[in-house]
Structure 1
Amino acid sequence: MILFKTVRPLQNKLEKLRSNKQKIGFVPTMGALHAGHVSLVTEAKKHCDMVVCSIFVNPTQFNDEKDFEKYPVTIENDIFLLETNKTGILFLPSVNEIYPEGTEQLQHFELGYLENIFEGKYRPGHFQGVCNVVHRLLNIINPDILFLGRKDYQQYLVVKKMLQDFHPSTGIMAVDTAREANGLAMSSRNMRLSEDARIKATAIYQSLQYIKQHIAEGDIEWLKEKAKEKIWQGGFDKIDYVEICDAETLLPVSTIKTGKKIIVLAAAFIEDVRLIDNILL
């Protein structure tokens, strides 16, 4: 694996690869890597000749400064994990490298209603920060395909829209959520949970499974309330949302229609750590 910390040497390397007709896949991360990130790299290797992974804790997508300060940093382990899984290139830039003109005057992206629902509602400015950093990374790397995890489903849809507007030649692939044996969605934030909370946190996945198992027989609003009950009973401190939506638009549905892709999403806090999860029906 080759490690780059600055833009120009990385671009020189990528230009040589392109001149040899090599297909480039890109996996952007914020570090604190786990098996879910490895699954993105593995999928990218199936479709591309060279996989570039970036590690950059992006300050502009945190609406809560304390959340930014608490974000786990495990760079030595991250490098070992990427090397072990034969990642081709690691890009490890500084804030100045990504935001040479600072983080005050950021580009504004027109994201429509997607910016203001669910994650956008509870984390104001989050998706503008996501789009700014992904846009800048794509300008640097110019990959053929971008690989994102399905766990952050709304983020996937937001970035997909941004690609259509600014990077139409870059493809995008969503990779299925990696889970612990008990069903808990793998997340860097899980590192902040106690062992007891990691066990209790499975309630969020179990609540989504309950909806999946009863979707054909229950009223939508009733199902959402039953799911929330399960999350509360699991030991969560706060629920931001449990919603049943059209998977294409992320708009809530009131009835289930044959042929429509449905996604169930939830966000809740346990031990002051905010977890999100979703499942496609």
Structure 2
Amino acid sequence: MIICHKKEELRHVLEGLVPKNQTLGFVPTMGALHEGHLSIIVKGLKENAKMVVSIFVNPTQFDNSSDLKEYPRTLEHDLELLRSLSEDIVVYAPTVEDIYGELISSEAFSFDGLEHQMEGKFRKGHFDGVGTIVKRLFEIVRPDFAYFGEKDFQQLRIIEKLVEKHHLGVKVIGCDIFRAEDGLAMSSRNQRLSKTHREAAPFIYETLKAAKIRFGTESANKVTTWVVEQFEKQGLLQLEYFTIADEETLLPVETKQNTKSYRAFIAVFAGDIRLIDNIALN
């Protein structure tokens, strides 16, 4: 397995690495790899001649300095996991300086309003940071296909818009949410949960599944009110938001239409750990 820490080194490695008429796949990560990441990487390995995986905790997408400081950094363990999948993976694990130089700042992006919903309302500047790092990584790696998990569905839609508006020449592939046996969506933040909060956290997905059933016969407003009430009764988990939105525009639903696809989005605090999830409703 080849590990590169500088973009010039990575570009040199990638030159001529992919045979003609075959493709290069890419999975960008912030490390602390888990089974969800691995399932995405396995999909990429099956569909491409070569795979690049980046491991980089991007400072510009954190709106909370303590969250950035506490974010798990487990590079050696991550590399062991990647080796267990394939020795053919190329790893790009850059420093902040290699990505940003001396000025660590985000570009300003417009994603046609996608950035103002849900996460955008609660995490100031987050999607400018996401757009900045993903655009730079695409320009460095130059993949044919890039893979992203649907747990961050809003991010997935925004990256699709980034590629479209900036003509980046990458095909973005969404991958199913990978869940623990009890339904909790896999996240690097899960390892920071206390035992009590980890035991309570599956309530999030249980509530999403129940909301999906209710959405079949009830309005979005009624379902939302019901979800809020369930979390008020729960006690250990604090609901930040629950939104039912159009999958295409991410705008909240007012009146259901049979021709549109809808998804429920949720953000919850388990102590000081913030968890997000979503579910397709139709």
TM-score, normalization by structure 2: 0.95
Q: Per-residue deviation at 1:256?
A: 2.4
Which piece of structure 1 moves more, 110-119 or 13-22? Answer: 13-22
Whether the aligned pair in 1 keeps the contact of 2:29 and 2:56 (CA below 8 Å) is yes
Q: Per-residue deviation at 1:258?
A: 1.9
Name the SS of the counterpart of 2:113 in structure 1: helix
Aligned to 2:220: 220
| Residues 66-120 of structure 1: per-residue CA shift (max 9 Å, x gap) | 110010111121111111011511111000000014214x322122322222101
Equivalent position amino acid for 1:212 in 2: K
Aligned to 2:93: 92
Name the SS of the counterpart of 2:117 in structure 1: coil
Q: Per-residue deviation at 1:158?
A: 0.9
Unaligned runs of 5+ in 2: none
Whether the aligned pair in 2 keeps the contact of 1:269 and 1:275 (CA below 8 Å) is yes
Q: Per-residue deviation at 1:191?
A: 0.8
| Residues 115-136 of structure 1: per-residue CA shift (max 9 Å, x gap) | 2221011000000001111111
Which piece of structure 1 moves more, 244-253 or 233-242? Answer: 233-242
- C-alpha separation in 2, matches of 1:167 and 1:101: 27
Aligned to 1:102: 103
- C-alpha separation in 1, matches of 2:103 and 2:61: 14
Which piece of structure 1 moves more, 179-188 or 224-233? Answer: 224-233
Aligned to 1:174: 174
Q: Per-residue deviation at 1:46?
A: 2.1
Whether the aligned pair in 2 keeps the contact of 1:200 and 1:235 (CA below 8 Å) is no
- C-alpha separation in 1, matches of 2:229 and 2:202: 14
Q: Do residues 151 (structure 1) and 151 (structure 2) align?
A: yes
| Residues 132-157 of structure 1: per-residue CA shift (max 9 Å, x gap) | 11111111000001100000011111
Name the SS of the counterpart of 1:112 in structure 2: coil
Q: Per-residue deviation at 1:177?
A: 0.5
Which piece of structure 1 moves more, 128-137 or 258-267? Answer: 258-267
Q: Per-residue deviation at 1:196?
A: 1.8
Aligned CA RMSD, in angstroms, stands at 1.4
Aligned to 1:257: 257
Equivalent position amino acid for 1:94 in 2: T
Q: Do residues 139 (structure 1) and 105 (structure 2) align?
A: no
| Residues 141-186 of structure 1: per-residue CA shift (max 9 Å, x gap) | 0000110000001111111111112244210000000001110000
**Cα gap change, 1:153/1:242 in structure 2, threshold over 3 Å: closer, same or farther?**
same
Q: Per-residue deviation at 1:230?
A: 2.4
Name the SS of the counterpart of 2:265 in structure 1: strand
Aligned to 2:239: 239
Q: Do residues 55 (structure 1) and 52 (structure 2) align?
A: no
**Cα gap change, 1:234/1:81 in structure 2, threshold over 3 Å: closer, same or farther?**
farther
- Trace 1:190-229 onto structure 2 (pairs within 5 A): 190-229=190-229
Whether the aligned pair in 2 keeps the contact of 1:24 and 1:143 (CA below 8 Å) is yes
Q: Per-residue deviation at 1:202?
A: 1.1
- C-alpha separation in 1, matches of 2:232 and 2:191: 21
Whether the aligned pair in 1 keeps the contact of 2:211 and 2:227 (CA below 8 Å) is yes
Whether the aligned pair in 2 keeps the contact of 1:235 and 1:270 (CA below 8 Å) is no
Unaligned runs of 5+ in 1: none
Whether the aligned pair in 1 keeps the contact of 2:18 and 2:49 (CA below 8 Å) is no
Equivalent position amino acid for 1:22 in 2: Q
Q: Per-residue deviation at 1:18?
A: 4.0
Aligned to 1:42: 42
Q: Per-residue deviation at 1:43?
A: 1.2
| Residues 18-38 of structure 1: per-residue CA shift (max 9 Å, x gap) | 464431000000001100000
The alignment-based identity, stated in percent, is: 40
Equivalent position amino acid for 1:52 in 2: V
TM-score, normalization by structure 1: 0.95
- C-alpha separation in 2, matches of 1:94 and 1:235: 41
Name the SS of the counterpart of 1:16 in structure 2: coil
Equivalent position amino acid for 2:270 in 1: I
Name the SS of the counterpart of 2:222 in structure 1: helix
Whether the aligned pair in 1 keeps the contact of 2:268 and 2:274 (CA below 8 Å) is yes
- C-alpha separation in 2, matches of 1:147 and 1:167: 17
Aligned residues: 280
Aligned to 2:121: 121
Whether the aligned pair in 2 keeps the contact of 1:203 and 1:231 (CA below 8 Å) is no
